[in-house]
Amino acid sequence: MDTAETVPDTWRPGRVVVIVPTVVAALATVWATSVPGWYLIWLALIANVWVFIGLVWLLTLGRMLFRREPLARLRRDWPVWSLPPLVVLLVCGLVYVGAPLEARFALSRPALDDRAQAISHGTPLPADDEWIGLFPVERAERIPGGVRFAIDGTGFLGTAGFAWSPEGEPPEHDGEDLYEHWHGPWYLWSESG
């Protein structure tokens, strides 16, 4: 009797082994790209997780293809091998259109508007490392015609955040500040060096 045909091929990655790391990496990627300038250090770490997930996915798919009845195996285990690429496409699409930053800003906008208007009317600047809405504000600064908020941990060589300037684009200071219109009186702001 041939034992190869009587012993079932039981090697299959558990759904948890494939799905949980993929979902965690997806959520971490969305979180890391939900601030101006992104959390670049975190993204570098998350990229390593994505590489690991990709390798496990390729090995799993390869193992399924080189076993008995590969098409039946692919049909049976399609959630295991199809989920990671679908999640990657979804996350890439969300990051490409800026959805994580848009969503976090939309949820935080009332708090940011209130604080910016209060500061422009003379209220003292908030303490360093204070949360405004869903953003950890490293510091706030008055600028001509408005205020800007530096988001903690963003950027790589400089800081990034939001500038509130209802009178138009804030002036650049010695070419160090870059502003990009965002929504209404809000600008994405980054400083270099």
Q: What is the model's pLDDT at position 65?
A: 77
Question: What is the mean pLDDT, run by run of 10 residues, along the chain of 193 residues?
Answer: 49 68 96 95 95 87 76 74 91 98 98 96 89 96 94 87 95 81 96 73
Give pLDDT, residue 68.
75
Take residue 165 and report the two structure tokens written for it. 């300037």
Angle (CA) 160-128-181 rounded to 5° is 30
- Give the span between the Cα atoms of 25 and 13, in whole angstroms: 18
Asked if residue 26 lies in contact with residue 49, where contact means CB atoms within 8 angstroms, the answer is no
2, two tokens: 């041939």
**What pTM value is reported for the model?**
0.84
Q: What pLDDT score does 13 carry?
A: 55
pLDDT of residue 14: 61
Q: How far apart are CA 112 and CA 132, in angstroms?
A: 6
Tokens of 161: 């955040």
Closest CA to 78 of 54, 104, 60, 100: 60
Answer for the pair 109, 101: CB distance below 8 angstroms, yes or no: no
The sheet with strand 146-151 has its strands ordered as 130-132, 135-143, 146-151, 160-164, 186-191, 177-183
Of 97, 90, 64, 95, the C-alpha closest to 78 is: 64
Assess contact for 63 and 11: CB atoms under 8 A: yes
Exposure string of 132-146, with b = 16+ CB inside 10 Å and e = fewer, is: bbebbbbbbeebebb
d(CA 167, CA 185): 8
Q: Judge contact between 165 and 139, C-beta under 8 A.
A: no
Q: For position 6, what pLDDT does the model report?
A: 47
CA distance 101 to 83: 24
Residue 25: partners with Cβ closer than 8 Å, 6 or more residues away: 46, 49, 50, 53
